[in-house]
Amino acid sequence: MTITDRPLTSMIGLPDGPPDCAAYGRAGGWQAVRRALRDMTPDAVIDMVTASKLRGRGGAGFGTGQKWSFVPKDPAATRRKYLIANADEMEPGTFKDRMLLEGNPLQLIEGMIIAGYAIQAGHGVIFLRGEYHLALNRLNRAIAEARQVGWLGENILGSGFGFEIHVHASGGRYICGEETALLTALEGRRAQPRSKPPFPQVGGLWGAPSVVNNVETLCNLPHIVTNGAEWFVSLGLGPDSGTKLYGVSGRVRRPGAWELPMGTPLRAIIEDHAGGMRDGYRLRALLPGGASTAFLDAGQIDIPMDYGAVEKAGSRLGTGLAILLDDRTCPIGMLHNLEHFFAQESCGWCTPCRDGLPWVERLLNAIENGTGEPEDLDRLHDHARMIGPMGRTFCAHAPGAMAPLASGLKLFREEFDAHIRQRACPLRHAA
């Protein structure tokens, strides 16, 4: 790939659509696969990715090279290994991977070949959100062409390494984005999280060593291998490396997603790229990284959008796509909508999530519709306190659902009280 300040999106938005293999190669594609397979050992690729400080772009932010290093290398682990691209993008307010999948699927394919070589996996799976029909068609077409011209299959570039990719269209459940539930779904069973250990890197798909990486994470790999770890580190504005797909939804002038340096200030994303709030609307608060992150208020938008800064501010970077709440939208209604989603998407495996989230939804519905009682706020606080901390459920679904609730109970206390006192939504009544 050519060195650019926007490597992920440099070939997205072309007049003729996504590049084919030839056009992709003319623009610098496939250089990374050539370098990795001809000039580097698998361990050297892992070392380069570790040195680049690439962190997972799916929300958790775990070090990619470190994650790969947990895959067994001893002779006893010679059984089949798997690489899975998590493209089950169902977090409300998140749409970054769709841009990459539809705009340049060959970039993901090249990244998966590199990752597969690094962990010595012979088979890759793209676990795709079922509603992404255009992405499915373009991925299948790109994979077929890559296989036809020799970038997939046995003995790629005469290296002795073979790699195949299969696309699996999801049944359409949010829980499938959790990596162990994703693996269970791929095995043809109900998508429910698994207890850990064993972790997927040791015992994943069908019990074999498996690595699950987000689409955006994998798309960074061709650029890192081509341009080097130091180059990737230099792209970030702060402690985190590379670029990031940031986005904004809500009542702004230009909602969308943009590739920007890691650590770009939130204010710049909202005002310079999203165009600021629409006329007649004022920013009240926001979820900085998708629906499962805690609210920040409007006075915190000068923070840099990197993992440490957003965590210090009281939330998480998450997927990096902010959902904005304006002053004319009811925050209680917004919370009810979010918790309705989380409640219906629970897999039902563990009690706190299966039974707790519907209770939260019902309490919020009562408050929003004028039948709430003061003690309902105590019940909501209890739910946030009991099922919010990590480790009390099999996966992060319930803790993620409690992040906007716990922060909303603090930030919007006056609105909660007004709903209960007036027996109606004040904004709806004023309208």
Cα separation of 298 and 337, whole Å?
21
Does some domain include residue 3?
no
pLDDT at 183: 96
Model confidence at 2: pLDDT above 70? no
Model confidence at 193: pLDDT above 60? yes
220 and 343 assigned to the same domain: no
What is the number of structural domains in the chain?
A: 3
pLDDT at 13: 87
Please write the tens of the pLDDT for every residue from 257-313: 999 999 999 999 999 999 999 999 999 999 999 999 999 999 999 999 999 999 999
Maximum distance among all Cα pairs of the chain, rounded to whole angstroms: 74
Using only C-alpha atoms, the chain has a radius of gyration, in whole angstroms, of 22
Q: Which of 218, 235, 252 is the last residue of a domain?
A: 235
306 and 393 assigned to the same domain: no
Average pLDDT over residues 250-258: 97
pLDDT at 1: 42
- The pLDDT-based confidence of 16 (bands split at 50, 70, 90) is confident
CATH, residue 339: 1.20.1440.230
| Residue 41 dihedral angles phi and psi, to the nearest 5° | -85, 160
Pull the structure tokens for residue 32. Answer: 């990374």
Mean per-residue pLDDT of the chain: 94
Model confidence at 78: pLDDT above 60? no
Cα separation of 274 and 320, whole Å?
14
pLDDT at 106: 98
Distances (CA, A) of 353 to 62, 67, 170, 241, 345: 24, 28, 22, 35, 10
264 and 150 assigned to the same domain: no
Share of the chain above pLDDT 90, in %: 89
314 and 352 assigned to the same domain: no
Does some domain include residue 5?
no
Model confidence at 340: pLDDT above 70? yes
Does some domain include residue 11?
no
Contact 104, 141 (CB under 8 A): no
Does some domain include residue 54?
yes
Cα separation of 88 and 73, whole Å?
29
- The pLDDT-based confidence of 76 (bands split at 50, 70, 90) is low
Average pLDDT over residues 139-148: 98
Model confidence at 431: pLDDT above 60? no
CATH, residue 74: 3.40.50.11540
> For residue 117, which of 239, 206, 35 has the smallest C-alpha distance?
35
Which residue in this structure is represented by tokens 């290093």? 69
pLDDT at 389: 87
69 and 184 assigned to the same domain: yes
Residue-range definition of the domain harbouring residue 256: 243-326
* Residue 358: strand, helix, or coil: helix
Q: Which of 285, 304, 326 is the last residue of a domain?
A: 326
pLDDT at 427: 82
- Non-local (6+) Cβ contacts of 121 within 8 A are 80, 81, 82, 83, 115, 163, 209, 210, 211
Question: If residue 285 lies in a helix (H) or strand (E), which one and from where to where?
Answer: strand 283-287
Q: Which of 275, 292, 326 is the last residue of a domain?
A: 326
97 and 203 assigned to the same domain: yes
Model confidence at 335: pLDDT above 90? yes
